[in-house]
Amino acid sequence: MSAPHPYDALAEQLAALDPRALIYVLSRVLPRHQDFTETGDMRTTMVLAEATVWAEGRPERAQSTEADIALVAWPDARYVTQPGVGTQGTCQACDVAVNSIATVAYCPVCGAALQLG
């Protein structure tokens, strides 16, 4: 049996959270992991995404990939209404599909305020 990894305890704590709590925690952490090119013309940021995989047949509205992928919007805690990421929308500023646990949230890519649902 291998030795426990130093982050195993943290991973167990995160795994025990309900989706709302996990999204809240990650919304405080992932945006801090951004990289910029030396010229400043490109930025990368870490995001959380939700993938929906269809068991059989594809609804017509599904994207053309094997799974529908939407980024998880960072919630405004005052407007959390969903137990899961059931509110869907699109960021008007950068045109990414987002799912949210709140009717008011922020785009994880550009930070724009989103009115959803």
Q: Kindly tell me which residue out of 14, 93, 113, 115 binds Zn ion, with binding defined by CB under 5 A.
A: 93
- For every residue of 63-107, DSSP letters joined together read -SSSEEEEEEPEE-GGGB--SSS-EEEE-TTT--EEEESBSEEE-
Residue closer to Zn ion by CB (options 11, 113) is: 113
Q: For 75-93, b where at least 16 C-beta lie within 10 A, e where not — what string?
A: bbeebbebeebebebebee
Interface with Zn ion includes 17 (CB under 5 A)? no
- Closer Cβ to Zn ion, 30 or 110, answer by number: 110
Q: Does 112 bind Zn ion (CB under 5 A)?
A: yes
CB of 110 to Zn ion, least distance (A): 3
From the list 15-23, 32-40, 54-62, 103-111, the region that binds Zn ion by CB under 5 A is 103-111
DSSP 6-18: TTHHHHHHHHTS-
User: Which residues contribute to the site for Zn ion (CB under 5 A)?
Assistant: 91, 93-94, 107, 109-110, 112
